[in-house]
Amino acid sequence: MPFGTDPEVIGEVLQRDGGMVLTGALTPEEVAAANAEIEPQIGAFRIGSFAADVNGVTQREETDETLEQYPGMRTRHMQHVVLRSKTIRERFIARKELGEYVAKLTPATPGTHTLFASNVIEIHPGEIAQTLHRDGGEMFRDAGMENANTPAYLTNTLLALSESTEEMGATRILLGSHLWEDFNDWGAPEDTIAVELKPGDVFIYSAKVIHGGGANVTKDKVRRLVANAFSYPWMIGEEAWPFVADLEEVKTYPVEIQNMLKFRSISYMGEEPGFMWRKDQRPLQEFLNL
Ligand SMILES: O=C(O)CCC(=O)C(=O)O
Ligand SMILES: [Fe+2]
């Protein structure tokens, strides 16, 4: 369905399937602008898995050969896209419709969700398929939220800045797995389908849908998506936005983005200004002169 479709219609599909493609979220000109903003910055981020740097992740002494067996060795991540690309910030993340769609899975006032993470994910030729997973699994399992009966603690969006075909490592998913009775069942790779995207399309899904990046079996085609994940307004995210984003720059951002990065007081029941995250009982935005 096209980006811009009535949120009620989108909401029904999201509830049923757990994820769907919205076409044309960015125009071709906006895709070109976003790529032009990202291109000069992404070279500073190396291709490879952080498992290579963190002993505790793999639980064993790694050599170059053993590390080859891990998904991620031919994947490149670039964090903080919201701070790096004006086009993605203003033409995608701040969009009213996007907030309305996200709220269908993660209930909150549109435009106030926490931006949980904002990353480029490039899957390069030769990469193997990611392990199938649910995003944020362990964290939310401990809180009793990882089952079919709760709303999605995280709603993720994968925005295509290149083509994403099955051969290039399109994301693979198990539709409907957000409603499975047994969340210890991780499904089988052969039951997944590939979510193919054209530049400017976005795949929006509940983090409770089992999924994973696919294998890139092409010789020379890089698959580039931007993952922007949203959670409840009061949830802490992966990135420490108030410490890493520049206040003077954030003052120039749309109010929705200021909310998402926690530069404004946080509303938990639609109250404005939000009651939480204050300074001497006054809204944070007053203290920060936003
Ligand atoms: O890159 C993809 O297609 C999916 C990435 C993903 O699921 C993740 O990093 O958690
Ligand atoms: Fe994931």
Q: Crossing angle of helices 96-105/7-17, nearest 10°? A: 40
Question: Given this model, what pLDDT does residue 73 score?
Answer: 86
- Of ligand 1's listed atoms, the one at least distance from the Cα of 214 is 3
- Of ligand 1's listed atoms, the one at least distance from the Cα of 211 is 7
Which of helix, strand or coil describes residue 118? strand
pLDDT tens digits along 218-247: 999 999 999 999 999 999 999 999 999 999
- Residue 193 and residue 173 in contact, taking contact as beta carbons nearer than 8 Å: yes
Centre of ligand 2 to C-alpha 272, Å, is 33
Asked if the model's pLDDT at residue 39 lies above 80, the reply is: yes
pLDDT tens digits along 46-91: 898 765 555 555 555 666 666 666 778 899 999 999 999 999 999 9
Beta-strand ranges (E) seen in the chain are 19-22, 75-78, 114-123, 154-160, 172-173, 193-194, 202-206, 211-212, 223-231, 278-279, 282-283
Q: Is 52 or 254 the better-scoring residue by pLDDT?
A: 254
Closest CA to ligand 1's atom 5: 213
Closest CA to ligand 1's atom 8: 212
Asked if the model's pLDDT at residue 19 lies above 70, the reply is: yes
Centre of ligand 1 to C-alpha 281, Å, is 40
Centre of ligand 1 to C-alpha 171, Å, is 7
Mean pLDDT, to the nearest integer, of 92-105?
A: 98
Q: Which ligand is nearest to the CA of 171?
A: 1
Percent pLDDT > 90 in the chain is 84
Question: Given this model, what pLDDT does residue 56 score?
Answer: 52
- Buried b / exposed e over 48-67, threshold 16 CB at 10 Å, is bbebbeeeeeeeeebeeeee
Asked if the model's pLDDT at residue 200 lies above 60, the reply is: yes
Chosen CATH of 7-239 out of 1.20.1600.10, 2.60.120.620, 1.10.10.1100, 3.40.50.2000: 2.60.120.620
